Amino acid sequence: MKGERNLHTICEVFNEEASRQGLRGVLGVVAFDSAYDALLPVQKELLEGICGGRFTELLEGGSVISIAYAYPDHAIDSIAVKKGDAFNKERWNEYARWYINLNEALNETAEALAKETSGIAIPATVSWTADVKHVEDFYKMAVSHRVAAEQAGVGWRGKNELVINPIYGCAIRLASVLMGAPIERTHASYEGCGSCRSCLDACPFLGQKEKLDDYREQCRRYINALGLVAEVCGKCIKACANSPTFKEIRSKGKPSNIGSIHYTTE
Ligand code: SF4
Ligand code: SF4
């Protein structure tokens, strides 16, 4: 029965998809009830709607497959590059276009995995649309993939609130697949951000997030004003990639604390 696929088979399908897309991928698995319990009430309601008649089955023994694709390094390098006194928006759009590309690739891969597991694909989160007037409106529109990714060990929650993978940093996009059967869970343990604060120093909103009502609203307004081809900014992602924490990680090669998380080969 397709729903009883094991982790190895799921990883093989993911490898094929990542290879077809020409992307570097990460996959982890967490129990559905654990990821569900950690969601905000509004997100729980949204997830229940996505599950429909399968909610009880999922809650009683289901799994969430968390998948990520990494941005190519050149896309991250293109963020917030100066041209004279202003930002080079043409170059910055390279990152914005990769945001769109990765979302599309994740959605195709999530559908392929859902087909394989008789599961439900939850597409990559896309930024708000014109009818979102405040970031709080957006919380009701898309299920966060970050909770499942964090619990599955894809990465830790960074000071910029993104999921930080030990190899690709936060230069990743996420999607999820819900499947009815319990499969082997993945685990990893990380030391987290430590004393690093590069992302906080790179963004005035993040840097003051404890003082602001909701720094995400300032982020949303900044992104809208930026006017790239997708609703993105990415300065906090670039800051993380160039942070002393990640320079040190990269200098040591592949980290030893990746646990049972699955990485596709390049
Ligand atoms: S995306 Fe830009 S504005 Fe938003 S938190 Fe990151 S650096 Fe700040
Ligand atoms: S820049 Fe540093 S503090 Fe911010 S998320 Fe990355 S590792 Fe953590």
pLDDT given at position 37: 96
Residue whose CA is at the smallest distance from ligand 2 atom 6: 240
pLDDT in tens, 212-225: 888 888 999 999 89
pLDDT in tens, 112-123: 999 999 999 999
Residue whose CA is at the smallest distance from ligand 1 atom 3: 219
pLDDT given at position 46: 92
170 lines ligand 1 (CB under 6 A): no
Encoded tokens for 118: 């008789």
19 CA from centroid of ligand 1 (Å): 31
pLDDT given at position 129: 60
Closest CA to 146 of 181, 184, 172: 172
Q: Please tell me the distance from the alpha carbon of residue 162 to that of residue 169, in angstroms, as a whole number.
A: 9
For the CA of 239, the closest atom of ligand 2 is 1
For the CA of 160, the closest atom of ligand 2 is 5
Q: What is the mean pLDDT of residues 131-146?
A: 74
139 lines ligand 1 (CB under 6 A): no
Q: Please tell me the distance from the alpha carbon of residue 188 to that of residue 26, in angstroms, as a whole number.
A: 13
Q: Which residues pair with 174 in a beta bridge?
A: 68
pLDDT at 137 over 70: no
Phi and psi for 262 in degrees, rounded to 5?
-95, 130
pLDDT in tens, 39-77: 989 899 999 999 999 999 999 999 999 999 999 999 999
pLDDT given at position 125: 80
Q: Please tell me the distance from the alpha carbon of residue 127 to that of residue 147, in angstroms, as a whole number.
A: 18
Domain spans of the chain, in order of start: 3-251
pLDDT given at position 138: 64
Our mutation pick for probing the ligand 2 site, out of 156, 161, 197, counting the most ligand atoms within 8 A of Cβ, is 197
244: left (phi over 0), alpha (psi -120 to 50) or beta: alpha
202 CA from centroid of ligand 1 (Å): 8
Ligand at minimal distance from the CA of 249 is 2
205 CA from centroid of ligand 1 (Å): 7
pLDDT given at position 252: 76
pLDDT at 136 over 60: yes
pLDDT at 254 over 80: no
Encoded tokens for 134: 């405040």
Mean pLDDT of the chain: 91
pLDDT in tens, 150-170: 999 999 999 999 999 999 999
pLDDT given at position 212: 87
pLDDT given at position 213: 84
DSSP characters over the chain: -GGG--HHHHHHHHHHHHHHHT--EEEEEEEHHHHHHTS-HHHHHHHHHHHGGGHHHHHHH-EEEEEEEEPPHHHHHTTT-EETTEE-HHHHHHHHHHHHHHHHHHHHHHHHHHHHHT-EEEPPP----TT--SHHHHHTTS--SHHHHHHHTS-EE-TTSSEEBTTTBT-EEEEEEEESS--PPP------STT--HHHHH-HHHHTTTTSS-HHHHHHHHHHHH--SSS---HHHHHHHTSHHHHHHHHT-S-S--TT-EE---
Our mutation pick for probing the ligand 1 site, out of 162, 200, 218, 236, counting the most ligand atoms within 8 A of Cβ, is 236
